[in-house]
Structure 1
Amino acid sequence: MTRSILITGCSSGIGRDAAVTLKVRGWRVFAGLRRAEDARALEAEHGLETVLIDLADPRSIETGFDDVLLRSGGTLDALFNNAAYAIPGAIEDMPVDALRAIFETNFFGWHDLTRRAIPVMRRQGHGRIVMNSSVLGMVAAPWRGAYNASKFALEGLTDTLRVEMRDTPVHVVTIAPGPIRTPFRRNSVPHFERWIDWRASPRAAQYESALLPRLYAPPRRNRFELMPAAVTRHLLHALEAPHPRPRYHVTVPTHAMGALRRILPVRALDAILSRG
């Protein structure tokens, strides 16, 4: 029988590559996107089935998930929670409403979808829930506090869920990519411009010298950066292996930071991370 999966954040990057690759491998993919124009483009280019889901809108999550179940006949073999964004800026400049907004998409929306998927998977006797975390769910980097916080929260939620689901046929898996070539940084610019009044910040000079060039300059190739297909390869193992690993680290920086967090004193690790 054809296996089915719901993937969020399929307009570009990791989600798009995963959706296209899994369809080629014979999965029935429900590609989740926020915007109808992105859905139409994905349907036209790759023939994917799309579903409109805005993770910041509980009603959209409900109707989107119900639409998936209606089309699948009430089954769902896997959920890949992936859609997320960043709000660059120093923590002291981050409005509370900005944190509330990013957590709606990066955390609460994922939890909502997960809770909807679990009863379906319990009923059918199998399922995979894969959370796309980050190296920034393991260590904290400057200027990325809002994203750090959402991923640290996700790590705690996912670890707890994995432990609690050990007595069920549902596997819970975390993927931690690290630097992947996607439009992620470019897509963070509107959120920065909406929320961060950097000119009024005591760190205005640091914004000008460090963060603004990174946000607005043409992207430079990171020697450790991989393409989205690297994440998809780990996702395939998480979905198709009889006994998937609890965690998959994708890039060299993710492996390195996982090791350094275990062996270095906190102040030493802080000194490394403070370099950005």
Structure 2
Amino acid sequence: MSKSILITGCSSGIGYDAAHGLKRAGWRVFATCRQQKDVERLQSEGLESIRLDYADEGSLRDALAWVLEQTGGTLDALYNNGAHACPGAAEDLPRGALREIFEVNLFGVHDLTRLVIPVMRAQGHGHIINCSSILGLVVAPWRAAYNSTKFALEGLTDTLRIEMRDTNIKVVLLEPGPVTSRIRANSVPHFEKWIDWENSPRAGQYRTSLRQRLYAKKEGKDTFELPASAVTAKLLKILNSANPAPRYYVTTPTYIMGTLRRILPTRALDAILSRG
């Protein structure tokens, strides 16, 4: 029987590539999406798919119950990939914006992981892979909400990994840098919902910087940007390892920033990061 994996956030980008890539590699993939229309699209592409929304606790339980029904009660791996961003200066982020993004990027990930752990304990093995980011290692201006969720995810994952040392459940962080995806376009509705940029003391900076980047029609790749398949390749490396490393970098900037964070004084690193 092929090994099984539950992947979140499969409507596009990293999750979409992982779902198809792992299926080609022989895995039984359960690809989840937040919206039913995307679930149906993935089903039409030959994937086993069901709705799962990190902000909807009932959908987590229902999706996992359905997956376990299909597999006879086992699950070899969980890939927590789903996330969203809410761009804006830290001083312009209302409490509601932070609450909304933490519900998805952290609390939902934690809830789903807690549901899966008893299954893996019972079967005696499992891989839990959490998709963090280069922004879980260092910060970038205008991304305070996303930065903070990824830093929190890193702390939660590191703690879980240490606590799971007495089991055969492997807990791993994936840390991509710039990867081709729709996260920028998908962040626009959250920006428009929460950020009152016109009344911000940084309104001029929004006009000349952030809004131009958010609304610009993207042509070509950003510097060092890699396709989502680069993340899938690292994911497969993790899944094929009986003793994976605690974290895996993807893209050159992640390797660079991981090194600079270790060797530079904070003020020197701040000077580099402040350039965006």
Q: Which amino acid letter does the alignment assign opposite residue 228 of structure 1?
A: A
For residue 164 of structure 1, give the secondary structure of its aligned residue in structure 2.
helix
Residue by residue, what CA displacement relative to the aligned partner does 1:89-114 show, whole Å, maximum 9, x if unpaired? 00110010110000010000000010
Give the structure 2 partner of residue 135 of structure 1. Answer: 134
Superposition map of 1:1-276 within 5 A: 1-45=1-45, 47-220=46-219, 221-276=221-276
Work out the CA distance in 2 between the residues paired with 1:224 and 1:8. Answer: 25
Structure-1 separation of matches of 2:47 and 2:91: 42
Residue type of the partner of 1:113?
L
Counterpart Cα distance in 1 of 2:242 and 2:69:
28
TM-score, normalisation: structure 2: 0.98
Structure 2: gaps spanning 5 or more residues: none
The C-alpha deviation readout for 1:25-65, integer Å capped at 9, x for no partner, is 111100011111111111112x0000110100111111111
Amino acid of the residue matched to residue 142 of structure 2?
A: W
Query: Partner of 1:10: helix, strand, or coil?
Result: coil
Secondary structure of 1:54's counterpart equals coil
- Give the CA RMSD over aligned residues: 0.7
How far the C-alpha of 1:71 sits from its partner, in A, is 1.5
SS at match of 1:272: helix
Q: Which runs of 4+ in 1 moved over 6 A?
A: none
- For 2:3, the aligned partner's letter is R
**What does the per-residue CA deviation read over 1:211-245, in whole Å, with 9 as the maximum and x for residues that have no partner?**
01110112242120000000000000111112211
User: Which 5+ residue runs of structure 1 have no aligned equivalent?
Assistant: none
> What is the one-letter code of the residue matched to 2:145?
A
Aligned residues: 275
1:76-96 deviations in whole A, cap 9, x for unaligned? 000000000000000110010
> Hey, what's the Cα distance between the residues in 1 that align with 2:66 and 2:96?
31
Distance in structure 2 (CA, Å) of the matches to 1:225 and 1:132: 17
Q: Structure 2 CA distance, aligned partners of 1:11 and 1:249?
A: 23
Tell me the CA shift for residue 24 of structure 1: 1.0
Q: How far apart are 1:256 and its partner, in Å?
A: 0.4
* TM-score where L is the length of structure 1: 0.98
* 2:19 maps to amino acid: A
